[in-house]
Structure 1
Amino acid sequence: MRSVLCALAVTIILILSFNKLVYDDMPVANATIVLTEVNRHKQDVKSILMTDSNFSDLSFFDTMLKNNRILMLGEMMHNDGETFKAKARIIRYLHEHLDYDVVLYEAGQYDMWMMNAQMDTLMDKSQEKTIGGTGLFDFWWQNQENQPLLTYYKKTKSTDRPMILGGFDIQFSGSGLSNKRTKLLEDFLLKNGIDSTKYPLLKKNRNRLEYLTYEPFASKRLNANEKKQLLAELDELNRRIRSGVKDSEHLIYSRYLSDMKHNFDKSWRYKTGSMQSMHFRDSLMAENLTYQIDSLYAGKKIIVWCANIHSFSAPYNKDYRPLGTYLKRKYGAQAYSLDFTSYGRYDKTGRVVDRVGKLAVENVFHATKSPYFFLDLRQLPNNSMFKQRFSSVINQGIDEERKWHEFIDGIFYIDINKDPIYR
């Protein structure tokens, strides 16, 4: 009995020691040196409120982005409410002071085209609070944090420098279009004299297009041959549309059908969340994005809104090449990747939870006692520790050791993040 109790006591001591080792605030290697370097190079940001018009704290962007054309604004998680606020204030500054007039989201290419068109002509003020649902994923518009930005977009539409919104994803994103997709597509085909009955599987499944992106549902509705047939019908209809008038509406519907086909193909071929699925999607997002940068918005400065991991400018591993690698290869130094990270987040009671592990550099960032700051990795000297391998949770809160300067150009640090306030 005594040996059992001793073993139990040892186990408890080991568990408590492990918890302290992993979760207590403990310095990373050479923490004092790293802290000195961070304090030397960081640019303190005094506010993340979009309504704060004293932009002196963001003036470092003037030099940093002097020769930049594409700024990728990442986010560690899609529920980082404080990051949403900071991105909105940055976008306002870039628009008003540095002539960035286009914001392209990691959202459906067709859906965001529809949202932008509706915002251009929106007259009913009661619809302003829900227009985000036309193009954006719900987590980017159904919260208080992003409403000021959507209002700002709408306000610019009546100025001589309206902001243009777009998307580059192959996925369906706007829940506000869920009950309208079929009619919009059928109206377009009817208007252009295209017989929808020549595409029987598409016509048969026209009211469940979004559901078909879920492989288990698709497999219940379609056998292997029918899946191939549906993809072939989308290809054939796309060719039919491309052979018609080359106006903007034909172009977007052509790309819409192409995205739809690729979205189904991805969902049916790869496991959701797998590296293969991510790679397939990012390669197509890159194709959509570079097309828009070079053709639709040639000569314009562009902001790209996406998750941190999509902005990485080096391959994540042998199976996954993120969107940012394509942009960096094509546009070089004209593309800047700015990603966000945090030390922890507030829960509903105001306690700090989800704190980083002991190896993460965010421990040192936390020790600066700065609520917000920016660190430009691109401009640091080659002997900087930030040009070596270091651990960070910048990728979805996962503690990873990498040469992060090869993946991102700059870090925007928000000490404690929190969930958005959903409406």
Structure 2
Amino acid sequence: MKTKSWLLLFFAIGLVSWLCYRFFIVDFLYPYDKNFKDFVLTNTRPIENIDPKSSNYEGYEEIAAAIGDSKVVFLGEQDHGDAPTFLAKTKIIKYLHEKMGFDVLVFESNFLGLNRALANHDDLSFSSDPEYKKFISPIWTNCTECSELFSYVDSSQLTERPIFVSGMDSRLFYSNEGKFPIAQLIEILDSATIFDDSSEKENITKSLEVLIRDEYEASLSTAKIDSLYNFFDKAEKRLKPKSFLAQSLRSLRGFTLNALDTAESNNARDIQMSDNFLWLKNEVFSDKKIIVWASSSHLFKGYRDLPYHIGRDNDSINTGTLIADRISDELYVLGFTSNRGKAGRLYNPKYELVKPVKNSFEAFVEETGAEYAFTNFKDYELQSSKKSTFWMNGIAHSPNKFDWTEMFDGIFYIEEMYPCSDVLNIDKFALD
């Protein structure tokens, strides 16, 4: 009897401790805004599926209604290997193209490569490069879960409303043999009498080839670096300011600044991506609706208002903030988050996700029981005049406490994350 009493006592103490933790300590450690939680529980809409081949779009009309008359839609991703996110983004792209008139898809990829055909057009008439995929990183082109995206884009080229594939990144990714062929641009610049003489042409070409080959490990003398920047300044003055060649040189300057950045920040790259995108929007696709495919870390708004930096320690701005400064009324930024699972890019180690903290956005959505869901943060802004900071794993699968409603206009929730599978079956880090 005595032993039984002790067991009952221990059980009672354990139960009381758990109840205190669950209903008092957790809320003390992770306080939350009850009004915001109520908003999430009431306004989160379930999404039926993320299969881009499925004709069932139940729930996607909610996303379309939230986007409304926006002419630019940003589709983020927590990391560059998030397979379910890529499936969902593909399905959204198909919906936006077929039902809402979005005809342009701009990747976080090689601006010079994906837009090089513009070099021969004074009127900047655009046509997608038939070999566009070689200017896009294999983290996407080799991801099995992106296959339907590229099949859809390719098939659209045979229709009356093709999807135009472009890029905004100053980095010169190239998946074909060798490095990015800068020689083509050099010859076009030469024919436009940009170089003072053959010696300058040779020196500039060699410096760019070193940067393209070695990028962040590139070693150039101070004299060669100065010559590059002086050339960029001079060449821009000799070209029409809104021409593709002038923008190419601005992008090359951004590429150079990023590669040689001793502070190791993303600032130069993000600034140039925003400049490249705004040029594309204003000069090339002014009459079209645009979708942007990139990392959420580049696309969210309001970087200046963050209580602390995310990403690299020396970052102080990002692409989405700079673009929103200019076109906030035309823009809808859709982020993604997930509750559990694994992640990791192709050809890189995979990792277990950090479990969302108690009273996080993910925990609130989990209460709805939805496997996939959409929450329109713009509705919260309409319903509440009060800002609300809350925990969410919206960037790089890491929990942060921000006013996320100021950073994203809406969030697509995925219950379980898993990494891309490799179409080539050569990823040595692939999960069993």
The TM-score with structure 2 as length reference comes to 0.77
Instruction: Give the match for residue 229 of structure 2.
Output: 231
Instruction: Give the match for residue 252 of structure 1.
Output: 244
Hey, what's the Cα distance between the residues in 1 that align with 2:215 and 2:339?
35
Instruction: Give the match for residue 280 of structure 2.
Output: 292
- CA contact 1:140–1:146 (8 Å) conserved in 2: yes
Unmatched tracts of structure 2, length 5 or more: 1-20, 119-124, 310-314, 345-349, 424-432
Hey, what's the Cα distance between the residues in 1 that align with 2:65 and 2:382?
20
Hey, what's the Cα distance between the residues in 1 that align with 2:421 and 2:117?
23
* Alignment of 1:335 onto 2:339: no
Deviates more, 1:151-160 or 1:36-45: 36-45
Instruction: Give the match for residue 268 of structure 2.
Output: 280
Hey, what's the Cα distance between the residues in 2 that align with 1:93 and 1:163?
13
Instruction: Give the match for residue 197 of structure 1.
Output: 199
Q: CA deviation at 1:70?
A: 1.0
Q: Secondary structure at the match of 1:210?
A: helix
Hey, what's the Cα distance between the residues in 1 that align with 2:251 and 2:198?
19
Hey, what's the Cα distance between the residues in 1 that align with 2:351 and 2:245?
48
* Alignment of 1:49 onto 2:51: yes
Hey, what's the Cα distance between the residues in 1 that align with 2:293 and 2:387?
25
Hey, what's the Cα distance between the residues in 2 that align with 1:336 and 1:70?
6
Q: Secondary structure at the match of 1:326?
A: helix
Hey, what's the Cα distance between the residues in 2 that align with 1:35 and 1:59?
23
Instruction: Give the match for residue 208 of structure 1.
Output: 210
* Among candidates 104, 107, 123, match of residue 106 of structure 2: 104
Q: Secondary structure at the match of 1:59?
A: helix
- CA contact 1:186–1:196 (8 Å) conserved in 2: no
- CA contact 1:114–1:135 (8 Å) conserved in 2: no
Across the aligned residues of Structure 1 and Structure 2, the Cα RMSD in angstroms comes to 3.3
Instruction: Give the match for residue 414 of structure 1.
Output: 414
Hey, what's the Cα distance between the residues in 2 that align with 1:399 and 1:35?
17
Instruction: Give the match for residue 253 of structure 2.
Output: 261
Q: How is 1:23-102 mapped onto 2 (pairs within 5 angstroms)?
A: 29=31, 36-102=38-104
Q: How is 1:293-332 mapped onto 2 (pairs within 5 angstroms)?
A: 293-316=281-304, 317=306, 320-332=316-328
Q: CA deviation at 1:352?
A: 6.6
Deviations 1:164-192 (A, max 9, x none): 11111211123237445134234435655
Deviates more, 1:146-155 or 1:283-292: 283-292
- CA contact 1:339–1:394 (8 Å) conserved in 2: yes
Q: CA deviation at 1:139?
A: 1.1
More helix by proportion, 1 or 2?
Answer: 1
Q: How is 1:363-374 mapped onto 2 (pairs within 5 angstroms)?
A: 363-374=363-374
Hey, what's the Cα distance between the residues in 2 that align with 1:313 and 1:381?
15
Q: CA deviation at 1:388?
A: 0.8
Hey, what's the Cα distance between the residues in 2 that align with 1:115 and 1:149?
23
Hey, what's the Cα distance between the residues in 1 that align with 2:62 and 2:88?
15
Deviations 1:77-109 (A, max 9, x none): 111111111101000000000001111112121
Hey, what's the Cα distance between the residues in 1 that align with 2:331 and 2:384?
22
- CA contact 1:134–1:177 (8 Å) conserved in 2: no
Instruction: Give the match for residue 5 of structure 1.
Output: none
Instruction: Give the match for residue 126 of structure 1.
Output: none
Instruction: Give the match for residue 217 of structure 1.
Output: 218
Structure-2 change in CA distance of 1:138 and 1:236 (3 Å): farther
Deviates more, 1:190-199 or 1:50-59: 190-199
- CA contact 1:132–1:150 (8 Å) conserved in 2: no
Q: Secondary structure at the match of 1:199?
A: helix
Number of residue-to-residue matches in the alignment: 377
- CA contact 1:235–1:261 (8 Å) conserved in 2: no
Structure-2 change in CA distance of 1:67 and 1:266 (3 Å): same
Q: Secondary structure at the match of 1:343?
A: strand
Deviations 1:47-75 (A, max 9, x none): 11110122232112342222211111111
The TM-score with structure 1 as length reference comes to 0.79
Hey, what's the Cα distance between the residues in 2 that align with 1:402 and 1:121?
40
Q: Secondary structure at the match of 1:101?
A: strand
Q: Secondary structure at the match of 1:181?
A: coil
Hey, what's the Cα distance between the residues in 1 that align with 2:117 and 2:338?
31
Structure-2 change in CA distance of 1:314 and 1:207 (3 Å): closer
Instruction: Give the match for residue 172 of structure 2.
Output: 172
Hey, what's the Cα distance between the residues in 1 that align with 2:381 and 2:199?
64
Q: CA deviation at 1:360?
A: 3.2
